[in-house]
């Protein structure tokens, strides 16, 4: 396990997991992205509103075009496609929050049509792997609205520990949100990196 100040992350794509291929999002993904990122229920607890085609186009041209992490403050968003069929099932993100503290954060969004198979867990685990084994991070967090049960279950499934409950921490989409914070340290990662896929 690397124990160094992070320098950069330059993955080779696609990244293969048991059932998925992770790779940068592309213009050909717009329709698939619209089908889930355009849905109010999917966006209920994430920090963006349902997206239309123009917003998705803008993201593809800007933030989602990032394929490497070279400095803190950057985020790597990858699409997760089913290796078997090529369908885009969702997307995952790794934020590099701090170079000095070697800190990162993960996020994940899944098309509900593909829920309940462990795909989001499988993709998110790969982002932990990129953060710890690739970038040499020391600590990776997930910040979740307390009402978002599916997301909290996923963080626990990854082996992340709940550390904090911040009551009415943010005004989120017009109401106070209580945030629960999950974390994993680099020293905890080896016990979880080879977890049975998805579980």
Ligand X SMILES: CC(C)(COP(=O)(O)OP(=O)(O)OC[C@H]1O[C@@H](n2cnc3c(N)ncnc32)[C@H](O)[C@@H]1OP(=O)(O)O)[C@@H](O)C(=O)NCCC(=O)NCCS
**What is the contact surface with ligand X in residues (CB under 6 A)?**
42, 45-46, 107-110, 115-121, 144, 148, 150-151, 153-154, 198-199
- Minimal distance, residue 120 CB to ligand X, in Å: 3
Helix (H, G, I), strand (E, B) or coil at 141: strand
CB of 175 to ligand X, least distance (A): 16
Asked whether the beta carbons of 101 and 61 are under 8 A apart, the reply is no
The residue (of 6 and 37) whose beta carbon lies closer to ligand X is 37
User: Toward ligand X, which CB reaches closer, 2 or 179?
Assistant: 179
Q: For the CB of residue 3, give the shortest distance to ligand X in the complex, in Å.
A: 28
Alpha helix locations (H) across 10-118?
30-37, 53-61
Nearer residue to ligand X within complex by CB, 179 or 188: 179
CB-nearer residue toward ligand X: 76 or 144 = 144
Question: What's the DSSP call for residue 69?
Answer: B
Starting at the edge strand found earlier in the chain, the sheet holding 88-98 runs 15-16, 20-24, 75-82, 88-98, 103-110, 139-145, 175-185, 161-172
């Amino acid at each position: 396990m690397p124990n160094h100040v992070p320098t950069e992350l330059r993955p080779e794509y696609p990244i293969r997991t048991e059932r998925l291929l992770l790779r940068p999002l592309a213009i050909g993904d717009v329709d698939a992205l619209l089908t889930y990122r355009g849905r109010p229920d999917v966006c209920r607890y994430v920090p963006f509103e349902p997206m239309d085609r123009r917003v998705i186009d803008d993201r593809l041209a800007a933030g989602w075009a990032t394929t490497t992490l070279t400095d803190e403050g950057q985020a790597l968003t990858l699409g997760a496609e089913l290796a078997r069929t090529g369908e885009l099932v969702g997307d995952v993100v790794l934020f590099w929050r701090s170079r000095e503290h070697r800190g990162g954060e993960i996020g994940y969004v899944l098309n509900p049509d593909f829920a309940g198979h462990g795909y989001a867990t499988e993709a998110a685990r790969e982002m932990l792997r990129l953060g710890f084994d690739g970038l040499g991070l020391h600590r990776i967090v997930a910040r979740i609205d307390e009402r978002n049960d599916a997301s909290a279950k996923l963080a626990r499934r990854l082996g992340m520990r709940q550390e904090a409950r911040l009551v009415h921490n943010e005004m989120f989409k017009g109401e106070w949100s209580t945030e629960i914070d999950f974390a994993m340290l680099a020293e905890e990662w080896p016990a979880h990196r080879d977890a049975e896929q998805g579980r």
